[in-house]
A and B are shown apart, each in its own frame.
Chain A
Amino acid sequence: MPTKIEKDSVTGTETTGHEWDGIKELNNPLPKWWLYVFYACVLFSAVWMVLYPSVPYLRSHFGGVLGYTQRDAVAKRLEEASGAQAQYRDQIAKLDIQAVKADADLNRFALAGGRVLFAENCAPCHQSGGTGAKGYPSLADDDWLWGGKLEDIQMTLQHGVRSTNDDDTRVSQMPRFLADGLLTMPQIQAVAQHVLSLSGLDKPNADGAKLFAEQCASCHGEQGKGMREVGAPNLTDKIWLYGGDKAVVVQSIAYSRGGVMPAWAGRLDDATIKMLALYVHALGGGE
């Protein structure tokens, strides 16, 4: 509380009664127009309170007579945005995927949209940017199990790999050489050594080479270069989906591998699949 209100001798103005280290504050009056501006602001906020959401109740709030909400405003903007995308998506759905790639505008739209769609649908397994993980192939490299052309990628996306709910899915089954009694463990060891020697990771093994020609070459090829028709990986390159250690290779031969990818045709529309195929193709390894 101010205690000692006094009249300042120089200006004739009263002080507020506050004093700090001998410095006193003058109580100069504010101009009237300032007061009127303040009243105008009060009036403005009163009108605002009636028009827009303002007063909180216990469980809800007063929504304002205009019925405006930011949630609706965002929803409307999103609707407008997807409306603006429709013309591109319709075009992409209609055209052949090569024609989409040839059209600079559509291709740019597809790549930008594909990036987001990939993060939503594909990144959980293939990692962001198509980095890949053990058992989930890298999509950025130049090694393709089922083909790296645009049409191949589109086909894989539509029907999946070993998908149980799609009749046209890409399917093949490598035998479980040990479990099914086709080879004994020492034989498998020899084949594994031969497989690793194909990419210079181990010394050649004559027995293994012979067994490979008998048991494996029908799918992986005589040279071990793989066969995309059946998704058989190239065994001579430096890329190992499950790892390049001898133990891992032995495990693969003995008990087989068979990665699964869902068929997306029922879940994503045609335009979305094309956009994803274009995006994956542009990650760096597309053929």
Chain B
Amino acid sequence: MNQMAPETKNRADAMLGLLAPSLYSDYVKVYPRAVSGRFRNIKWAILIACLAAYYIAPWIRWDRGPNAPDQALLLDMAGRRGYFFWIEIWPQEVYYLTGLLILGAVALFLATALFGRVWCGYTCPQTVWTDLFMLVERWIEGDRNARIKLDQQPFSFNKAWRKTAKHAVWLVIAATTGGAWIMYFQDAPTVTREIFTGDASGGTYFFFGLFTGTTYLLAGWAREQVCTYMCPWPRFQAAMQDEHTLAVTYQGWRGEARGKHKAGESWEGRGDCVDCRACVNVCPTGIDIRDGMQLECIGCGLCIDACDEIMTKVDRPQRLIDFVSIANLERRAQKQPTILKLIRSRTVIYAAMLVLVAAIMAGALLTRASWEMNVLHDRAPLYVTLSDGSLRNGYTIKLLNKTRDERTLYLTIEGIPQATMFLAGEGEAPSSRLPVTVPPDDVGDYRVFVKAPRQVIKESSTTLRFNVVDEQGRRLTGYKSTFNAPN
């Protein structure tokens, strides 16, 4: 880093300022200090849970029988199927995924309205991986002061091996992350073996490299720049918050006036803040929480831990910085009892939306049919007059078999007496009950002709219902179509 003396830098800035206002700011590297305490422990626990879930999930096996993949979570792009434990979806059912995303979004709104930026501070992948990368950094290069010193040092063997080791470990973690991402789209054991043996496809290596690269870049280099400049969420999440939303807040009424404090000095006439900058030093985004609510604050609460440590040392009450709502901050300042107001119109609306979407999803899942049918009436010719005067209509029928068994089912028609049907090109006698064999986990495609005597057709368009029944005559699915005739 180019370290200019402050007065030199100010003069240079002032001279530049005469020419043009400063449009671009230098990157200020953040060196967060290690901290321990309640919120750090919660953050570690969530980090471990998130990483474990991410890395282990694709290895969970789920038996679906001989002809299906045995991976519990799998988005099989080539086979066009999505597997989620006992649920299997086809491409046209992608709205289940959409529903899942909507559920996630509404849950995020609700959590934000209640507890502020807990997503940003604890569960966002950017936070989780950045935290992990910082842990590695601390192990290899030391804590805040050691790292600042190392960066200021001229090139040396000590600096070289520490930097090399750090980036090497980062790259290994990034590669594991990128590799695990691939496993959600291909069979995990197979693709892991193929990546090492060189048998994986070019596309697999491309995405493996892409997600390795982005992980390394975002968690190693970009860090808080992602939250401040790239992510849209900090910009509009204020819309979900109100005066009862929890936020990491410096309680100025208690802290000011701040100032250095020597042991034995009186606390009369001054605030509890001893201006030690512990809250600034531990902040992963490098801000001063005492400046009030800021866009850059991810609400992780590490400054609370740092401050509590100091408050204990100077024998003042903890939680000078606290998770507290604006409403309660004012009440505390006026020595009024605090209130907990979880039920507000916005939280009720978010909760109701959550329940509604979840109910719709559950309903859709429970009523999901194993069989589906589509019937397409020929557009040309709409009808054909046969030599004996009877009428014939052509249909293309698609029968979706979402089970894992090949089945022979029966196609029946209702709505037109004496109507019969036959499959194109089979040369079989027309009948009113047509056997069709549907391959497992596939779509059966049939050209069907329906024939009816002229005298039973009264309208130019008569409703004709196709049904699919099993051997016992139970109806599995159906489709309402029409039978067309000359006017």
Q: Which residues of A are interface residues toward B (Cβ below 8 A)?
A: 14, 27, 29-35, 127-132, 138, 140-143, 234, 237-239, 282, 284-286
Contacts and interface: CB of A to CB of B under 8 A. Distances in A.
Contacts of A238: 385-389, 454
Given A138-B384, A141-B384, A284-B394, A30 B25 contact: yes
B24 A31 contact: yes
A140 B229 CA distance: 66
Nearest to A240: B385
Contact of B21 (A14, A30, A32, A142): A14
A35 to B, nearest CB: 5
A32 B386 contact: no
Interface of B: 21-27, 225, 229, 378-381, 384-389, 392, 394, 424-425, 447, 449, 454
Nearest to A27: B21
From A30, A140, A237, A284, residue with most partner B Cβ within 10 Å: A284
Given A129-B378, A284-B449, A32 B385 contact: no
B387 A127 contact: no
A40 B96 CA distance: 40
A32 B26 contact: yes
A131 B381 contact: yes
A126 to B, nearest CB: 10
Contact of A29 (B24, B381, B394, B449): B24
Contacts, number: 74
A32 B25 CA distance: 6
B381 A138 contact: yes
Contacts of A130: 381
18 contacts: A29-B23, A29-B25, A30-B25, A31-B24, A31-B27, A33-B225, A35-B24, A129-B378, A131-B380, A138-B385, A140-B381, A140-B384, A142-B386, A237-B388, A238-B385, A239-B386, A284-B449, A285-B384
A196 to B, nearest CB: 14
A129 B379 contact: yes
A33 B27 contact: yes
Contacts of B447: 282
A106 B424 CA distance: 17
A31 B229 contact: yes
A223 B386 CA distance: 19
A120 B454 CA distance: 33
Contacts of A286: 425
B385 A29 contact: no
Contacts of A132: 381
Contacts of B27: 31-33
A237 B380 CA distance: 23
A127 B386 contact: no
B24 A237 contact: no
Contacts of A27: 21
Contact of B25 (A31, A129, A239, A284): A31
Given A33-B225, A138-B384, A239-B387, 18 more contacts: A27-B21, A29-B24, A31-B24, A32-B25, A35-B24, A127-B380, A129-B380, A129-B381, A140-B381, A141-B387, A141-B392, A234-B387, A238-B387, A238-B454, A239-B385, A239-B386, A284-B384, A284-B424
Contacts of A234: 387
Contacts of B385: 138, 141, 238-239
For the complex of A and B, the 4 pairs showing the least CB-CB separation, nearest first, are A237-B387, A129-B380, A238-B389, A131-B381
Contact of A143 (B380, B387, B425): B387
A108 B109 CA distance: 53
A132 B385 CA distance: 11
A28 to B, nearest CB: 8
A26 to B, nearest CB: 11
Interface centre among B380, B387, B394, B449 (most CB of A within 10 A): B387
A227 to B, nearest CB: 15
B198 to A, nearest CB: 28
A30 B24 contact: yes
A142 B387 contact: yes
A148 B25 CA distance: 83
Given A127-B380, A129-B378, A130-B381, A141 B386 contact: yes
Contacts of B454: 238
Nearest to B23: A29
A234 B368 CA distance: 53
Nearest to A238: B389
